[in-house]
Amino acid sequence: MVRFAAGTGLRQGELLALNPRRIELAKRRVVVAESLSNLAGTLKIGPTKTDQTRSVPLTESLLEPLERQLAANKGARFVWPNRDGGPMRGNLLYRRHFLPAAERAGLQVQGLPRVRFHDLRHTYAALLIALNAPPKAIQNWMGHSSISVTFDVYGHLFPFAEDEVTARLDALMAE
């Protein structure tokens, strides 16, 4: 579950609300259409943060563990259900799954700020940027309402090659 979150950039509520029908294994995609929220102790499935449905590609390395998860919970309403088949609560996801994974990975270190689940989303975006993914694709996969949100949050990570761009502009203008 933690690897899936890091490899797709889904928000915690989107991950917890994920229905197996939204997984398109043959197309290597996940359709993100719902989100789980906790309203005064009551879990509610509703639209995503931006009220938009999006499609996020799945890497090859996510497919096998995801297939095992789906097979283990065949017929369940959620990809990662709780013990009763309902949606898992965010605090349980954090305590039972995320923190142990962060500790095993050496990310949870005494004296440093506590690693947050949302940091997986930031990691996904940073990796996409490092791989030179098109900004518009990053916006779509992250579910940002506009490209300006993507640039406002992650703009500092985009490579800025001032000298290279200036030289290329100079070459164009010299022609």
Average pLDDT, the chain: 91
* Pairing between β-strand 42-47 and β-strand 54-57 as defined by DSSP bridges: unpaired
The confidence band for 12, taking pLDDT boundaries of 50, 70 and 90, is very high
Q: Cα 133 to the chain's mean position, in Å?
A: 15
Backbone angles phi, psi at 13, to 5 degrees: -65, -35
**What is the per-residue pLDDT across 14-71, written as a single tens digit (0 to 9) for each?**
999 999 999 999 999 999 999 999 999 899 999 999 999 999 999 999 999 999 999 9
Q: Can you give the pLDDT at residue 113?
A: 67
What whole-number percentage of the chain has pLDDT above 90?
Answer: 67
- Residue 166 pLDDT > 80: yes
Over 80: is that where the pLDDT of 72 sits?
yes
Looking at the DSSP assignment, which residues form a beta bridge with residue 32? 54
Cβ contacts of 168 within 8 Å, gap of 6 or more: none
* Average pLDDT of the segment spanning 80-104: 90
Per-residue pLDDT at 109 exceeds 70: no
